[in-house]
Structure 1
């Protein structure tokens, strides 16, 4: 198992009371038991990011959808700025499950030799791009420039480094090479761009739409163009393998809430977008403008499909970029609980073992 948390990114903990307390029916009732026969957890600790790419988590927390579906299990939430920090929290036992991008999940799987986590659902596809200053109009113009990503080894960092290598540019993890890759927190990227500290960034929504709409950046690479069919996993839901084994019923209820949040986004997109924005404001103190919110939501697809082929592709990209040793991803998906719920709802099941 990996090392303990060294230092987590600034987190926001929000405790929600879940549902009504079950009334005693007489006698001395013991703790609730899960399907495995053990005592059921009384708390689920869930991680997610204050990003619109995590909209199902944002609306699920803000509207009490998770709390409603978890019943008498209390939800505690923590937010992260990038995936590696969330993985460290999962390793240490500080959280039980988290919404996260593909590459940190791959790295966590590799570091723990498949013992720490499993992917239990898809969440989001799309919503990532390389945006640059208007004077950068071609790949050739990138030589000598500084391009930001949210964090070394995160999903967008891997995407940028892989793409630059395909273009013939060398990079390294200390910011050297033909193009300097500069890890910059999403919350700091606008300031870095406007000050001239960076010339562009490969980053997710809503930050890329903000750079475009408010600061005149232009899209040099839309990541959808780099994947077959324009589909790639931006966010999926993972759970501690230990927690899943001990409390499958709690995980099932989390997935039930996750599906309800996805349904809300699909059936009431405008209301759901506003709800997500409300929660972003509560977390960060900042609210997206209507224009940026609309642009961001239009650039995203919320889906239960984990788009497994792109996960395998992302692993190959991380290996090519020198950020990951070869890894066997067999067994990283555990979609039985999800598919049971989808079948019961009369919806198509999803596949987690597609070849890359």
Structure 2
């Protein structure tokens, strides 16, 4: 895939099927300069809203003129990819509250959270650990998880000949970004096998947080021994660079914290608490489009789903994937609006043990009220619980 997939871009969509047009990106950079000040604003409004993501509402007063959404050019973000390209998100927003959708493509969760906390975007698809980190660091004032998106689709892939964890000692591995979901997962796995890896790159195993396209090239050039990656990057290293799977993360989840064995959260949908408190109707409309995208992905025939996701990747990231790569990637993941809230305490614990976050109480992280209202109106869906970590 093209390297420029990781250059942030913004697309404004006014209605389903309309042609995207680029926005100027300087406001993103300016907002980031004032991250600390902006991230702390609106706390009083959130307290008045009960520290939740806001009650679902149909009032025009609760709608926003614009919703700025972040997501990644990864297969694990297929609900966002397909939802944007097919106009499902824009249509739901336009019909629900007359809100315009604009989008920003990111490489990894910490960067998306930084933009969200800076007020540069309003909602984002990202991994659970960046959402946890933001919630903990802001003492619950920054974001709320309002839905799940994807379960599964992350693997530790390595050079042939590496058969067990002990052989990773002295090796150099990569993850998409320090503090991201795969970064925490790798550090936790190493610690469980008595291998140290410090955030500054020291320890028994060197971990170099690296942009995904660079990881593929470095692995092909023999400069990396492996990487813990989301799809489609794990599949790309296996099928295009000769890597082998040492750990499928699905094998590390036995089902006691989720609905069934192998389920673990890869992607969730989060929203700024201030934005949600100010515009609950817009958040509900976003969720309608989100559920529609998930339903489409789950109902589509495998070939149709692969074609749609690939076309969406080309639009978001600049290039399609080979058919064998997209097929392998999609086989490894499940699309679900359930954020699997019961898994989050373990994710927090893994982050604490890795030295990348602080111990905290996650109560209030989830606000699934609007999601459950949407699901109640859609056939084939059940109510989703927050595992006593928020409202539902």
**Per the alignment, in what secondary structure is the counterpart of residue 38 of structure 1?**
helix
State whether residues 147 and 201 of structure 1, in contact with CA within 8 Å, keep that contact through their aligned partners in structure 2. Answer: yes
2:114 equivalent in structure 1: 88
Post-superposition offset of 1:46? 0.4
Pairwise mapping of residues 40-51 of structure 1 onto structure 2 (< 5 A)?
Answer: 40-51=63-74
State whether residues 62 and 280 of structure 2, in contact with CA within 8 Å, keep that contact through their aligned partners in structure 1. Answer: no
2:174 equivalent in structure 1: 148
In 1, the alpha carbon distance for the partners of 2:89 and 2:62 equals 21
1:302 equivalent in structure 2: 335
CA offsets 1:26-53 (integer angstroms, 9 cap, x no match):
xxxxxxxx65673631111000000000
In 1, the alpha carbon distance for the partners of 2:128 and 2:235 equals 22
**Per the alignment, in what secondary structure is the counterpart of residue 61 of structure 2?**
coil
1:16 maps to 2:13: yes
| Gapped regions of structure 2 (runs ≥ 5) | 1-5, 18-56, 255-260
**Per the alignment, in what secondary structure is the counterpart of residue 67 of structure 2?**
strand
State whether residues 172 and 206 of structure 2, in contact with CA within 8 Å, keep that contact through their aligned partners in structure 1. Answer: yes
2:287 equivalent in structure 1: 255
1:162 equivalent in structure 2: 188
Q: 1:53 aligns with which of 55, 76, 80?
A: 76
**Per the alignment, in what secondary structure is the counterpart of residue 367 of structure 2?**
coil
Decide whether aligned partners of structure 1 residues 36 and 117 sit closer, same or farther in structure 2, where only a CA change above 3 A counts: farther
Runs of 4 or more consecutive aligned structure 1 residues displaced over 6 Å after TM superposition: none
TM-score (norm: length of structure 1): 0.91
**Per the alignment, in what secondary structure is the counterpart of residue 109 of structure 1?**
helix
Q: 1:111 aligns with which of 113, 118, 137?
A: 137
2:355 equivalent in structure 1: 322
CA offsets 1:161-191 (integer angstroms, 9 cap, x no match):
0110010001111211101011111121110
CA offsets 1:272-317 (integer angstroms, 9 cap, x no match):
3212211211222221011100000000000111111222211010
Q: Alpha carbon RMSD of aligned pairs, Å?
A: 1.5
In 2, the alpha carbon distance for the partners of 1:19 and 1:47 equals 18
State whether residues 16 and 86 of structure 2, in contact with CA within 8 Å, keep that contact through their aligned partners in structure 1. Answer: no
**Per the alignment, in what secondary structure is the counterpart of residue 99 of structure 1?**
strand
State whether residues 62 and 281 of structure 2, in contact with CA within 8 Å, keep that contact through their aligned partners in structure 1. Answer: no
TM-score (norm: length of structure 2): 0.83
State whether residues 115 and 121 of structure 2, in contact with CA within 8 Å, keep that contact through their aligned partners in structure 1. Answer: yes
2:54 equivalent in structure 1: none
2:386 equivalent in structure 1: 352
1:31 equivalent in structure 2: none
In 1, the alpha carbon distance for the partners of 2:204 and 2:245 equals 20
State whether residues 19 and 70 of structure 1, in contact with CA within 8 Å, keep that contact through their aligned partners in structure 2. Answer: no
State whether residues 227 and 310 of structure 1, in contact with CA within 8 Å, keep that contact through their aligned partners in structure 2. Answer: no
State whether residues 333 and 353 of structure 1, in contact with CA within 8 Å, keep that contact through their aligned partners in structure 2. Answer: no
CA offsets 1:183-202 (integer angstroms, 9 cap, x no match):
11112111010112110000
CA offsets 1:136-155 (integer angstroms, 9 cap, x no match):
11222111000100000000
